[in-house]
Amino acid sequence: MSSSGCAASRPDVRLFLFDVDGTLVTARGAGRAAFGRALRAVYGTAGGVDVYDFRGKTDPRIVWDLMRGAGLDDAAITRGLDGFYAAYLQELREVVGDGSRVQVMPGIADIVRALAAREDALIGLLTGNIEAGARVKLTPTGLWPLFRVGAFGSDDMDRRRLPAIACGRARAVTGRDIPFDRVTIIGDTPLDVDCARACGAIAVAVATGQHPHDELAACAPDHLFVDFADVPRTLAALTGATS
């Protein structure tokens, strides 16, 4: 995939796309817990949910992997999907509760607000969460309204296809095409880096999730942070990445 997916045009707006879990916030296992309960309620089994590697995966990918692993055929998985998502959201709301379980990662609130205030920046989400799930996790932080566009697991199972979706939505907001080389994808997993590399976006990795710094370094992102606690340094790197 090349930058033709977001045709080059006026180069005065940058699109910053943040992952949710491990990058913006941690919900301290809320997603896995809600997933397991919903899978059992709808499919009668949660498969290997307790050992499955959720990191960087889209929600639909997780469902398909777990249920195929549990021996369900594709027709049965498909029939249960709508019911699963409804049950998952109900469970997630209960697990998240008053939002005290959701912790914003160091520096994130200041960085998101600073970027949202810039005329040359548009901030959004690129996450494996279904859109409604991302909303449940982010609403308690007060940051949800600042993300003006997004691409979610509910849009496509394949994370690599999400940047083009986000660019299309950015064009609807700004009236401008944003080329992929002016898109920055920020995440905490090798799959976030892979997603950026697949479309030619700038890759920013941060070790606030479950992948250690050295493991992320091996993916050779354009920028790598232990965390975003140093807000001025982080903003300087992000806003100067394509200068």
**For all residues of the chain together, what is the average pLDDT?**
94
- 25-38 pLDDT, tens per residue? 999 889 999 999 99
Dist. CA 215–CA 76, nearest whole Å: 37
**Quick check: do 3-27+103-239 and 30-96 share a fold?**
no
Dist. CA 203–CA 222, nearest whole Å: 5
DSSP code of residue 221:
-
Q: By the 8 A CB rule, do 19 and 187 touch?
A: yes
- 54-104 pLDDT, tens per residue? 999 999 999 999 999 999 999 999 999 999 999 999 999 999 999 999 999
Dist. CA 158–CA 139, nearest whole Å: 25
CATH architecture of residue range(s) 3-27+103-239:
3-Layer(aba) Sandwich (3.40)
- What is the topology classification, in CATH, of domain 30-96? DNA polymerase; domain 1 (1.10.150)
Show the beta-strand stretches assigned E in 108-176: 121-126, 149-151
Domain residue ranges of the chain, discontinuous segments joined by +: 3-27+103-239, 30-96
Dist. CA 243–CA 241, nearest whole Å: 6
